[in-house]
Structure formats: structure tokens, C-alpha cells
Amino acid sequence: YLEQLTAMALRLQEIRPAMAAIKNGLQVFIDGMAGLKAESVPFEPVDSVARLVESILHSLDLKFH
């Protein structure tokens, strides 16, 4: 049981950087959308989402193989 908990804790530590990257990416996207609403700043939401998804997949790919 303790071994399982330890393994899970290690797994969470591995995932944490990926989660932080996802959170930062989402924040950038949200800020960008807010900026787009506030003023007509050239902001490419589709590009941002694509890059965000790509970085999420990349992070997860590194962690789960």
C-alpha cells in the first residue's frame, strides 16, 4: 500500500511541470482573448489553441513514455 502511494506521489511530481505549462499556456490564451476584447489587437486564437494543445501533448508525451 505504501509502495503504491509512493509511486503515485512520484507520478504526480513528474506531471506537475506539464500541469504548470498547461496552466501558463491557458493564462496566455485567456490574457490574449481579454486583450482582443479590450482593443483590436491582432491576436490569433486558433494559432494559440493549436500551440497550446501541441505543448500539452508534447508535455504529456514526454511524461508518459
The domain containing residue 37 runs over which residues?
Answer: 2-63
Q: Indicate the number of domains in the chain.
A: 1
Q: What is the pLDDT of residue 37?
A: 64
pTM of the model: 0.40
pLDDT along the chain (65 residues), means of 10: 85 81 81 68 63 75 57
Alpha-carbon distance of 24 to 32, in angstroms, equals: 12
Residues 33, 43 contacting (CB under 8 angstroms): yes
Alpha-carbon distance of 35 to 52, in angstroms, equals: 18
Q: What is the pLDDT of residue 52?
A: 74
26: CB partners within 8 A, 6+ apart: 52
